[in-house]
Homo-oligomer: A and B are copies of this chain.
């Protein structure tokens, strides 16, 4: 096997080592331990003998698998539970009901599941324990709009926000203020002790952002919401009921979301059990074990995919020329989420866009491989997680009459890599801790 082929194999092994480490069941096993009758979660100890009943709620792409792992651990200690997941993301649970629902636009099944969760939470007592399993996608899956707002109106505003160019924290500010359950409002509903186990799909693991933070204090206000609607020119476009709700809040006539000073959060613990950094740590370990001089750049990468790719190209060439920032065989690891300013009408995603732009940067380099893939297994509007490329990718594309610039300009990176058989297809992974990027550079010809 020549070096480029073994590098490609290693890049995939390193990616999968990271991906495996953030699988919901692995994260649960790593962070949740039952010893005799004491449940240890992070630094917290929960003496199960102390609680009348244990209830399980949850929402998000990974939450079905998390529920399955928790049920396996606690078995009949769980009184009952209900978890909302996207269609196709169910898990084989016996006690906890897994309810499939719409994502990213909420639907009736999601509302109905949320009503059941709210009903369950309302019946909990001060001596109960509620375990809440939160993961990416939860914003759409755990939703009960304020009574004056219909599902149709909620769907309408969600669609408008997703298309507006607003940041996710801005979208969530609105979501939180027109909802009965988001933005920390779970403390309004349940009197119990609540421990949220969270798989983070956002940079910096802000618990108030993940799934719109149902168990976290909210730092946004009704006034912020109005500013955001003005900023994106949505004031006149959103349903009247929603504008009325926000204006009532601004006028002090609707209840604000609970803030950090609220004493009720004393009985709530929000614990991150998986995030991008944990995935990168495992990539790092795997790369080191394979003999690479390994450098983890950052788990917080952002920026336009094609421009970020240029930095990776510059690092690849530097490694060849000077052994910086790592000697060969070198492995550079990064994570986060880039963005793509879409100009064409092709099929692709940020990982495939990054990989093709990086392929252009490393064109002609021997023994150089780059990979970028989303941990959720779905990059953009495609069914691939991402793609892999090496110094011969651009040349191989020419052999099959593909012009790189044409495909990049049309954001048609999926078609490009599909034709080269260089897609990474994991299938839906049922987890999500953003993306992983891996650069491998070796010397010699192997």
Contacts and interface: CB of A to CB of B under 8 A. Distances in A.
Interface stretch (A13-21, A107-115, A307-315): A307-315
Interface in A292-313: 295-304, 307-308, 310-311, 313
B297 A303 contact: no
Interface string A400-443: 00000000000000000000000000000000000000000000
Interface in A240-299: 277, 295-299
Given A307-B308, A321-B277, A325-B325, A314 B296 contact: no
A140 to B, nearest CB: 27
Nearest to A309: B303
A268 B386 CA distance: 48
A317 B300 contact: yes
Contacts of A315: 297-298
A310 B304 CA distance: 9
A223 interface: no
A324 interface: yes
Given A308-B311, A311-B308, A325-B325, A318 B298 contact: yes
Contact of A300 (B308, B318, B325): B318
A43 interface: no
A307 B298 contact: no
Contact of A297 (B296, B301, B318): B318
A325 B296 contact: yes
A322 interface: yes
A302 to B, nearest CB: 5
Give the oligomeric copy count.
Answer: 2
A284 to B, nearest CB: 8
Contacts of A313: 300
A336 interface: yes
Contacts of A321: 277
B311 A301 contact: yes
Nearest to A323: B296
A310 B318 contact: no
Contacts of A296: 318, 322, 324-325
A324 B297 contact: yes
A325 B311 CA distance: 15
Given A304-B304, A325-B325, A298 B277 contact: no
B303 A311 contact: yes
A310 B325 CA distance: 19
Interface string A214-258: 000000000000000000000000000000000000000000000
B304 A324 contact: no
Interface string A82-113: 00000000000000000000000000000000
Contacts of A300: 313-314, 317-318
A343 to B, nearest CB: 14
A317 B310 CA distance: 21
A311 B298 contact: yes
Interface in A320-344: 321-322, 324-325, 336
A308 B318 CA distance: 16
A144 B424 CA distance: 55
Contacts of A297: 311, 314-315, 318, 324-325
Contact of A298 (B204, B304, B314, B336): B314
Contacts of A322: 277, 296, 299
A303 B310 contact: yes
Given A296-B318, A300-B317, A302-B310, 8 more contacts: A296-B325, A297-B315, A298-B318, A300-B313, A302-B314, A303-B314, A308-B311, A325-B325
The 7 closest A-B pairs by CB, nearest first: A307-B307, A303-B310, A298-B318, A300-B314, A298-B314, A296-B324, A303-B307
7 contacts: A296-B322, A298-B314, A299-B318, A300-B318, A303-B308, A304-B307, A308-B310
